[in-house]
């Protein structure tokens, strides 16, 4: 790209020399094995055109080589795997009625110059209809045919009605909409895996909030992005912070990534009390307002474990180069430690709209609607090491990452099943980590380099987790 900026000047020089066989002062350049005679003074007449043209071509190659060198150095300084060249103009939103989806639409309204061309949601038809009426997308998708029929009745009164699709095919259609340059992947769990992969294969920029996508198939996803030229910009506050901290840094100068964790609602609870935590207690997060599944994951610290796996694929660092520290104020969203001991941190109020806007506008920065951070008002920032004895899910995630292959997909699937069972009142809080651990112990990891391998591992783990939960559910209910 940078080299191309020099081409007009180079060709203009050649054209000028071709027309009048005169040349302005240029430095000596090496041609073949000897040095071309230096042309002194402001103008020299009588120089043979063949020699003149030869010198200019070499001069052009020299400038292009210098420009390419500058470009390479610029890309080497980037710590993140993607470098979008322009901000989003038209977006598709997967999971528009969820927490991230709703905040995305608030950011779109604030920015004012971004169109929503496609949206997908689950079963919250009432909210979905409001969004359709407000943003007038061309395409919408929902969970199943029943939902689609209900949605079609609800929007019949609108002057501009979008095309409606449903199921996984509908999600894929939204994710690959031809006018969308950016796809916000904000669905919860593995349901967003295939649509996000198709968006990557289509070369879209991905504003990634669905961490399960990279947890399940990081190798597959990053290879697809490399082939298609797709850009992945993280929306998770921790990875978004790492992305910001790595801007301008060489990966060779990074010692480790430090992901911060709030500690969840049970940070200061003793182990015995945590084991018997209720659903309501686990959903009472002290800092963030999120969906139920991610809130439970925060309470078990599985959310942070999944983020460790995601960071490995986003930024290319191994398990031994990624660490977690508990920071109860959730003001420092993550940090990067450099090899000279310096630590770069990204700070901000706990508001997901900041990370979403960054993902949509990168590499630009725009004025945001978020509350400004007042450090004097915060007063103090605390940090402590995580306790994997009280929160074993974090240790399971590091183990899955170290094992590699299909093990992260198995952990993710087992965790989705066990968390839902806890939310449904079928098992206790402690059974979440126990179920995940038992399923992992029974799995023999295989390479996760094909879609079938990942989906087979996911399916096997879900089936196995349901079998494990059966006896646990009976014990929990007292039967």
The pLDDT of residue 62: 52
Helix-, strand-, coil-residue percentages of the chain, each rounded to 5? 50, 15, 35
Using pLDDT thresholds of 50, 70 and 90, give the confidence band for residue 470.
Answer: confident
178 CB-near residues (< 8 Å, 6+ apart): none
Q: Is the pLDDT assigned to residue 38 strictly greater than 50? A: no
Q: Is the pLDDT assigned to residue 49 strictly greater than 90? A: no
The pLDDT of residue 64: 58
Measured distance CA(359)–CA(182) in Å, rounded: 10
Residue (of 374, 269, 267) closest to 331 by Cα position: 374
For the chain, give every domain's residue range. 3-76, 90-236
pTM of the shown model: 0.78
What does the DSSP assignment read for 246-299? TTT--GGGEEEEEEEE---TTTT--HHHHHT--HHHHT--SS----HHHHHHHH
Q: Is the pLDDT assigned to residue 27 strictly greater than 70? A: no
Residue (of 315, 93, 313, 298) closest to 185 by Cα position: 93
Three-class DSSP category at 414: helix
CA atoms 396, 191, 104, 367: torsion sign: positive
Q: Is the pLDDT assigned to residue 403 strictly greater than 70? A: yes
Predicted confidence (pLDDT) per residue in 175-198, tens digit: 999 999 999 999 987 788 999 999
Measured distance CA(90)–CA(94) in Å, rounded: 14
Predicted confidence (pLDDT) per residue in 279-333, tens digit: 999 998 877 777 789 899 999 999 999 999 999 999 999 999 999 999 999 999 9
The pLDDT of residue 284: 87
Q: How many of the other CB atoms lie within 10 Å of CB of 311?
A: 26
CATH annotation of 90-236: 3.40.50.720
The H-or-E segment that residue 117 falls in is strand 115-120
Q: Is the pLDDT assigned to residue 407 strictly greater than 50? A: yes
Q: How many of the other CB atoms lie within 10 Å of CB of 138?
A: 18
Q: Is the pLDDT assigned to residue 23 strictly greater than 80? A: no
Measured distance CA(18)–CA(332) in Å, rounded: 61
Q: Is the pLDDT assigned to residue 479 strictly greater than 80? A: no
Using pLDDT thresholds of 50, 70 and 90, give the confidence band for residue 471.
Answer: low
Q: Is the pLDDT assigned to residue 30 strictly greater than 50? A: no
Measured distance CA(388)–CA(464) in Å, rounded: 24
What is the phi/psi pair of residue 36, to 5°?
Answer: -70, 150
Using pLDDT thresholds of 50, 70 and 90, give the confidence band for residue 218.
Answer: very high
Q: Is the pLDDT assigned to residue 399 strictly greater than 50? A: yes
The mean pLDDT value of the chain amounts to: 84
C-alpha distances (whole Å) from 282 to each of 296, 361, 411, 430 are 6, 34, 20, 11
The pLDDT of residue 369: 86
Predicted confidence (pLDDT) per residue in 247-283, tens digit: 999 999 999 999 999 999 999 999 999 999 999 999 9
The pLDDT of residue 367: 93
Using pLDDT thresholds of 50, 70 and 90, give the confidence band for residue 85.
Answer: low
The pLDDT of residue 143: 84
């Amino acid at each position: 790209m940078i080299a191309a900026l020099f081409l007009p000047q180079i060709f203009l020089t050649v054209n000028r020399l071709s027309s009048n066989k005169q040349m302005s002062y240029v430095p000596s350049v090496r041609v073949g094995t000897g040095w071309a005679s230096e042309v002194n003074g402001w103008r020299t007449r009588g120089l043979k055109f063949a020699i003149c043209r030869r010198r200019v071509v070499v001069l052009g190659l020299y400038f292009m080589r210098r420009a390419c060198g500058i470009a390479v150095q610029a890309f080497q300084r980037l710590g993140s795997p993607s470098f979008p060249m322009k901000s989003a103009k038209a977006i598709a939103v997967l999971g528009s009625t969820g927490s991230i989806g709703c905040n995305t639409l608030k950011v779109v309204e604030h920015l004012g110059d971004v169109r929503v061309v496609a949206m997908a949601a689950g079963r919250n038809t009432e909210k979905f209809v409001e969004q359709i009426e407000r943003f007038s997308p061309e395409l919408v998708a929902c969970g199943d045919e029943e939902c689609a029929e209900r949605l079609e009745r609800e929007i019949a009164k609108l002057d501009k009605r979008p095309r409606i699709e449903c199921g996984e095919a509908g999600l894929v259609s939204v994710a690959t909409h031809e006018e969308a340059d950016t796809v916000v992947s904000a669905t919860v769990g593995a349901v967003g895996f295939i649509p996000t992969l198709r968006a990557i294969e289509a070369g879209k920029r991905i504003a990634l909030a669905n961490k399960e996508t990279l947890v399940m198939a990081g190798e597959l996803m990053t290879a697809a992005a490399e082939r298609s030229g797709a850009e992945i910009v993280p929306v998770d506050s921790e990875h978004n912070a790492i992305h910001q901290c790595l801007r301008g840094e060489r990966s060779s100068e990074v010692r480790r990534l430090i992901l911060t964790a709030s500690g969840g609602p049970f940070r200061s609870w003793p182990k015995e009390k945590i084991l018997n935590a209720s659903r309501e207690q686990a959903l009472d997060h002290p800092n963030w307002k999120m969906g139920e599944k991610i809130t439970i994951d925060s309470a078990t610290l599985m959310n942070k474990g999944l983020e460790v796996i995601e960071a490995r694929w986003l930024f290319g660092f191994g398990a031994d180069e990624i660490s977690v520290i508990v920071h109860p104020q959730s003001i420092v969203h993550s940090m990067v430690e450099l090899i000279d001991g310096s630590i770069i941190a990204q700070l901000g109020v706990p508001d997901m709209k900041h990370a979403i806007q960054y993902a949509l506008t990168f590499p630009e920065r725009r004025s945001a609607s978020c509350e400004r951070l007042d450090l004097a008002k915060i007063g103090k920032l605390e940090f402590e090491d995580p306790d994997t004895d009280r929160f074993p899910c974090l240790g399971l995630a590091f183990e899955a990452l170290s094992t590699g292959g299909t093990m992260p997909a198995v952990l993710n699937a087992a965790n989705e099943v066990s968390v839902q069972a806890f939310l449904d009142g079928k098992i206790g809080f402690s059974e979440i980590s126990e179920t995940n651990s038992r399923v992992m112990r029974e799995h023999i990891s295989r390479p996760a380099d094909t879609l079938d391998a990942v989906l087979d591992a996911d399916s096997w783990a879900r089936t196995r987790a349901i079998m494990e939960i059966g006896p646990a559910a009976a014990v929990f209910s007292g039967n």
